[in-house]
Amino acid sequence: MMAVTLTAPDTVEVVDHWPEPVCGPGDVIVAVRGVGVCGSDLAVVSGRRAVPALPWVIGHEAFGVIEAVGRDVADRHAGQRVVVEPNYPCLACGACRSGGTSGCRRRRAAGISEPGLLAERVAVPARFTWPVPADMDDADAVCVEPLTVALNAVRMSGLRPGDPCLVVGGGSQGLLVILAVLHAGGVPHVTEPQEGRRALALRLGAMDAGPDAAAEPGARFPAVIETSGVPEAFEQALERTGDAGRVIVVGQSTRPARVSTFTLVQRRLTVRGCLIYDHPGGFRGTIATLAGHDLRPGRVLRERFDLAQAPVAFAKAPDIAGKTWITLPRIEETLS
């Protein structure tokens, strides 16, 4: 079958001889229909985030249709449309038992510690597939996983209806955070140096809070969510947080940032890291939100590539204003 593999840093190849997945007793086989491109995928491709072996199937933001179920699976069936929750906690450790599965030290992550999902068919633990309506737009389905991260970040911020919230970074995750802020009743502001990303953020409903903003340049906010992963942006996030405010950090970098403890103490700031989401509440809540509200997260998608164009998609994604995704042909299309 076809799969998208990393064969060396910055070298992505589409192969047509990847082994078929094996369906374990608690697994399902998913025929993948679409996969989003995420910043963590780009870190894997560049070599900044190591993977266990090469070649390596990449990608983790996937949706598709179940083709087969394992013998112990009773609540999934062939033909069911699902999104994949690509982080598999052990569900037995102290963190998992307390409900904080994002802190599971044995958590397996598709595309990073486990083979990824950018292949024609993948085996996934059945409990980490989530049925979605057949009429859910493909663009919305491919955004369920990163939207879950965004909704969790806004929830952690303590944002109240009517509160302003600064989103630092207008990449794909920042755009979804803007939608999550709007959903929570907040007023999103954004700072983003790339003109195209900033323009898209404003079209989605954010207000410009950059240095050239017409209104209140340098204003401070009760809630700030940092999504870029750039240390200098984290420093800016602290500076733009109001007294007794809260900074939620989504973006990650191994490069250190400068933090003044004087600033933290004197302004009574709270800084919290937001690592993905918890199982099962995260995905369950997102799917319920999409069913009950006109959120349309697929609005952040701007470039779509076919499976054969995956190397181009990964090469171009860092410079695209908006989210990039890759679609896979349906079985009936390959037979025509």
Question: Which distant-in-sequence residues (6+ apart) come within 8 Å of 304 by Cβ?
Answer: 324, 325, 326, 327
Block mean pLDDT (10 aa), the chain, length 336: 97 98 98 97 96 97 98 98 98 98 98 97 98 97 98 98 98 98 98 97 96 75 97 96 98 94 96 98 98 97 97 97 93 42
Query: What sign does the CA torsion over 181, 182, 188, 194 have?
Result: positive
Q: How far apart (Å, rounded) are the C-alpha atoms in residues 181 and 166?
A: 10
Which pLDDT value is given to residue 212? Answer: 76
The class of domain 3-137+296-335 in CATH terms is alpha beta
Q: How far apart (Å, rounded) are the C-alpha atoms in residues 237 and 202?
A: 19
Between CA 168 and CA 185, with CA 266 as vertex, the angle to 5 degrees is 40
* CATH 3.40.50.720 residue ranges for the chain: 146-273
Which pLDDT value is given to residue 331? Answer: 53
Question: Which distant-in-sequence residues (6+ apart) come within 8 Å of 114 by Cβ?
Answer: 88, 108
Which pLDDT value is given to residue 288? Answer: 97
* CATH 3.90.180.10 residue ranges for the chain: 3-137+296-335
Which pLDDT value is given to residue 218? Answer: 73
Q: How far apart (Å, rounded) are the C-alpha atoms in residues 71 and 56?
A: 28
146-273 adopts what CATH topology? Rossmann fold (3.40.50)
Q: How far apart (Å, rounded) are the C-alpha atoms in residues 197 and 207?
A: 13
Between CA 167 and CA 305, with CA 109 as vertex, the angle to 5 degrees is 70
Which pLDDT value is given to residue 9? Answer: 96
